[in-house]
A and B are shown apart, each in its own frame.
Chain A
């Protein structure tokens, strides 16, 4: 059990591991812990999806996340919402400044057209994996399928929009050592892959690993930055509190 305030300054690292480049993984992250992702080499992309392990039909909802906070970009202060009006996690720290959630994933076809095919037979784990298949594999582990694949986050990646709505992939958005920390406000199944962003302009298929840490979170206090970032977020936290009413708190 943590002592509450100041924990963000000295958050205890409970676990640290790496996800290789062009790979995928999934894990349950508990309420009361945070997931810190670190871009090891610069130029990483982390595709991410969230589900409620108690009811897999509750999942990350990009439109609700964007419209609820009147934002197109995601950064510190923003909360990442489910389709049921609850907050999976809050972005409590971010040295990148802009993460996007509207471009989806690379597919086998996109990868082949951009960078050419590298199959497993010849290249083993240095193959050109794609984000779409990565999510299909992780989803299937939990009995989920393509119908369950919602619009995903692309952490560390950014796209700008001009007055006419044209998208532009922002180069060099994330540098070596950049990190983003997600504080989980409910137990969450996290799916992630490290395949390149579908609009990446790299000439070679980018192979960028990430380090992830699971940290002990502090208590969410009344003056919490994310909770007060927008009025909508305060109401989102209220919905989470209703969801957790009467349950065990803070001791697991």
Chain B
């Protein structure tokens, strides 16, 4: 569902550009609004969320899908934790559909999807591994790396039970905006994938914008 935001960028309290292949990790306070802006279009932002007070509570793809009885995420979607609490809500979305079935790219899954000799190409999970290593204050390990949201990524499911990877439905300037219902750690990998259309074979920067 397309829903535009009324928030004005000049009034934001925080702005940061995240280059493809980098991660972004920050606590979003309860009540703050967090926007991811697809600057150049067709860029997947692989994102995980954790309760800042207890990171063992985290975004759960399966609980979110089951509770809303829908596999796609868009404006109105409540992001549900593994404790079945609402962590954030998507309050604006000019893209219209985001994926949470496809997971993130990892060097190991790249060997299956593309070829064994692509095993050393940079991948989202490596960005997350670096993030948890460089941010020891959160006390996170590989056990905390779970199934994520792929903002701006289009992964349609067919009636017959197929799963397809389509060209993105995002374009330059499209965004998704989330309001935090609890203090939430955002862990975003701006996807470096070069082997499939999720980034139109050309990974580009995204911008993160926060309003109090």
Residues of A within 8 A of B (CB): 57, 61-64, 66-68, 70-73, 81, 83-86, 98, 102-104, 107, 109, 145-152, 160-167, 198-199, 232, 235-236, 238-239
Contact = CB atoms under 8 A, between A and B. Distances in A.
Interface size class of B (residues with CB under 8 A): 35 or more
B112 A71 contact: no
Nearest to B109: A64
Which residue of B111, B157, B164 has the most chain A CB atoms within 10 A of its CB atom?
Answer: B157
A66 B101 contact: yes
Interface string B76-108: 000000101000000000000100011110101
Contact of A72 (B70, B101, B109): B101
A165 B144 CA distance: 28
A130 to B, nearest CB: 12
A235 B161 contact: no
Which residue of B144, B155, B161 has the most chain A CB atoms within 10 A of its CB atom?
Answer: B161
A148 B66 contact: no
A148 B84 contact: no
Contact of B157 (A98, A147, A165, A232): A165
A104 B63 contact: yes
Interface stretch (B54-62, B130-138, B169-177, B183-191): B54-62
Contact of B142 (A57, A66, A71, A235): A57
Given A57-B143, A146-B82, A166-B70, A73 B109 contact: no
Contacts of B111: 85, 235, 239
B62 A151 contact: yes
A145 B55 CA distance: 13
A62 to B, nearest CB: 7
Given A62-B147, A238-B116, A85 B109 contact: yes
Contacts of A239: 108, 111-112, 116
Contact of B56 (A67, A147, A198, A232): A147
B159 A150 contact: no
